[in-house]
């Protein structure tokens, strides 16, 4: 896989690469998979008006490409029966049972080509502890952490305060709490477990700037996009910031497009180290804290980045001239890799 920053491509060459991907998807009949599979998606569905659900952005964007698309809810009892009628699945669910390899494995067995990364990358990226274990020898800086099975107070003292409690399979800061001292620790842990998250880690809270770096893949080219700085008035880039921060003015975004910016180069170098270890398809996002001396410290991976209007991935792509329908087409084109589905059920997509 060739890994390059976006500015390494001449504008016309990047456009030709994107157009080549788009030409392969326009004849497909696509199921857009969206539904309350995880705590993360249930939170968004229950807190956003239906008109703001991301599935409508995706359906409209694919329609602009001339792609016939229909929404399928994977939690409905007829999902398996109905998904067989489509040429490809556009995965737009996150967290447990959406982003963690479960859905990808089901589609692989059913012989339905799907967007995004395969089972192993999905499983590693969706589990914060597995992410740390896999990347621990990559040279990337990671915050100190502790797995909480039967926590002892001295373990937390060794980790230090403040710290962040994180459900290993949470997303969009769901199942996450900032703990400033030991007096609030147990209550915070109990609140997370009451939400249904049983596997929790404690991680040192790193002061710094929250930045996410998206990437897209077209065939064998992984293209690193401009980093997006997430500036919030809250203590950290928390659930409230991600859910409605841009609407209520408590979060602002700054996109690093200056190719002379040292921060941009440090972040892209860190993402290259990730992609030297983990393969990905479609779109990918790596979340960092820029700590002391602008040192990137990796927080987590996103193998199915949000694609609604205003999301980090969309903002970054737009900043270099990739419009919304084209971005969706790039992601959809990742479904053409039939190596992700069972060899006994591989079939030709374009009829």
Residue-by-residue DSSP string for 253-296: EEE---TT-HHHHHHHHHHHHHHTT----SEEEEEEEE-GGG-E
Q: 214: domain CATH number?
A: 3.30.470.20
Low-confidence winner among 29-43, 86-100, 143-157, 161-175 (lowest mean pLDDT): 143-157
Residues 97 and 225 in one domain: yes
Give domain status of residue 102, yes or no.
yes
The secondary structure element, H or E, covering residue 13 is helix 11-22
Give domain status of residue 351, yes or no.
no
Residues 188 and 312 in one domain: no
- 121 in Cβ contact with 283 (< 8 Å): no
Please state, rounded to an integer, the average pLDDT across all residues of the chain.
Answer: 89
- 92 in Cβ contact with 73 (< 8 Å): no
* Token pair belonging to 62: 């694919």
Residues 6+ apart with CB under 8 A from 144: 159, 160, 203, 204
β-pairing verdict for 29-33 and 68-72: parallel
Per-residue confidence (pLDDT) for residue 295, from 0 to 100: 95
Give domain status of residue 347, yes or no.
no
Q: How many CB atoms lie within 10 A of CB 138?
A: 17
Which of these, 216, 236, 214, 217, lies nearest to 226 by C-alpha position? 214
Residues 124 and 151 in one domain: no
Residues 154 and 238 in one domain: no
- The SS3 of residue 310 is coil
Count the domains in the chain: 2
What beta strand segments (E) does the chain contain? 2-5, 29-33, 68-72, 88-91, 145-148, 163-167, 176-179, 200-204, 209-218, 221-224, 228-232, 251-255, 283-290, 296-302
Which band of pLDDT confidence, cut at 50, 70 and 90, is reported for residue 232? confident
Per-residue confidence (pLDDT) for residue 351, from 0 to 100: 43
Tell me the CA end-to-end span of the chain in Å, nearest whole number.
29
Give domain status of residue 139, yes or no.
no
Residues 259 and 199 in one domain: no
Per-residue confidence (pLDDT) for residue 130, from 0 to 100: 94
Give domain status of residue 349, yes or no.
no
* Token pair belonging to 285: 């996002």
User: Average pLDDT in the 204-224 region?
Assistant: 95
Picking from 157, 174, 204, the residue at the C-terminal end of a domain is 204
User: Which pLDDT tens digit goes with each residue over 97-138?
Assistant: 999 999 999 999 999 999 999 999 999 999 999 999 999 989
User: Which pLDDT tens digit goes with each residue over 253-294?
Assistant: 999 999 999 999 999 999 999 999 999 999 999 999 998 899
Picking from 204, 225, 253, the residue at the C-terminal end of a domain is 204
Residues 63 and 109 in one domain: yes
Residues 6+ apart with CB under 8 A from 56: none
Picking from 174, 204, 234, the residue at the C-terminal end of a domain is 204
* Token pair belonging to 269: 């170098």
- The SS3 of residue 142 is coil
Per-residue confidence (pLDDT) for residue 234, from 0 to 100: 67
Residues 43 and 185 in one domain: no
Residues 296 and 323 in one domain: yes
Indicate the angle between helix axes 128-135 and 119-126, nearest 10 degrees: 110
Which of these, 45, 44, 72, 71, lies nearest to 56 by C-alpha position? 71
**What is the phi/psi pair of residue 63, to 5°?**
-60, -35
Give domain status of residue 135, yes or no.
no
Give domain status of residue 348, yes or no.
no
How many secondary structure helices (H) and strands (E) does the chain include?
Answer: 13, 14
- 38 in Cβ contact with 108 (< 8 Å): no
Residues 124 and 216 in one domain: yes
* Token pair belonging to 208: 């710094």
Residues 160 and 91 in one domain: no
Residues 177 and 237 in one domain: no
Give domain status of residue 138, yes or no.
no
Residues 197 and 227 in one domain: no
Rounded distance between C-alpha atoms, residue 255 and residue 225, angstroms:
10
Geometric angle at alpha carbon 241, from 238 and 243, rounded to 5°:
105
Q: 163: domain CATH number?
A: 3.30.1490.20
Which band of pLDDT confidence, cut at 50, 70 and 90, is reported for residue 247? low
Q: Could you tell me the sign of the dihedral formed by the alpha carbons of 55, 59, 64, 66, in that order? A: positive
Percent pLDDT > 90 in the chain is 68
Residue 191 belongs to domain spanning: 144-204
Which of these, 328, 312, 329, 308, lies nearest to 41 by C-alpha position? 308
Rounded distance between C-alpha atoms, residue 88 and residue 86, angstroms:
6
* Token pair belonging to 311: 């999301």
Q: Which residue has the higher pLDDT, 50 or 157?
A: 50
Per-residue confidence (pLDDT) for residue 143, from 0 to 100: 94
């Amino acid at each position: 896989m060739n890994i390059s920053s976006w500015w390494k491509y001449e504008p016309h060459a990047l456009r030709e690469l994107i157009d080549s991907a788009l030409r392969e998807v326009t004849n497909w009949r696509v199921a857009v998979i969206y539904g309350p599979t995880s705590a993360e998606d249930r939170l968004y569905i229950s807190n956003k008006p239906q008109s703001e659900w991301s599935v409508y952005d995706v359906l409209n964007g694919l329609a602009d490409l001339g792609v016939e698309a229909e929404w399928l809810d994977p939690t409905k009892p007829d999902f398996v029966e109905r998904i067989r009628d489509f040429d490809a699945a556009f995965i737009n669910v996150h967290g447990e049972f959406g982003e963690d390899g479960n859905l990808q494995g089901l589609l692989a067995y059913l012989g339905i080509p799907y967007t995004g990364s395969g089972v192993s990358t999905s499983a590693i990226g969706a589990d914060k502890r597995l992410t740390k274990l896999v990347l621990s020898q990559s040279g990337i800086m990671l915050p100190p952490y502790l797995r909480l099975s039967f926590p002892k107070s001295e373990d937390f003292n060794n980790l230090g305060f403040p710290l962040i409690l994180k459900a290993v399979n949470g997303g969009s800061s769901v199942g996450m709490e900032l703990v400033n001292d030991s007096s609030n620790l147990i209550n915070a842990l109990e609140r997370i477990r009451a939400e249904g998250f049983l596997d929790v880690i404690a991680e040192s809270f790193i002061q710094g700037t929250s930045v996410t770096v998206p990437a897209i893949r077209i065939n064998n080219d992984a293209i690193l996009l401009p980093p997006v700085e997430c500036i919030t008035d809250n203590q950290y880039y928390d659930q409230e910031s991600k859910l409605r921060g841009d609407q209520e003015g408590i979060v602002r975004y700054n996109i690093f497009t200056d190719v002379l910016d040292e921060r941009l180069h440090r972040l892209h170098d860190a993402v290259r180290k990730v992609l030297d270890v983990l393969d990905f398809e479609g779109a990918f996002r790596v979340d960092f804290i820029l700590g002391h001396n602008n040192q990137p410290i990796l927080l987590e991976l996103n193998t199915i980045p949000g694609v609604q209007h205003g999301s980090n991935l969309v903002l970054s792509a737009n900043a270099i001239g990739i419009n919304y329908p084209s971005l969706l087409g790039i992601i959809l084109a990742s479904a053409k890799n039939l190596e992700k589905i069972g060899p006994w059920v591989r079939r030709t997509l374009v009829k």
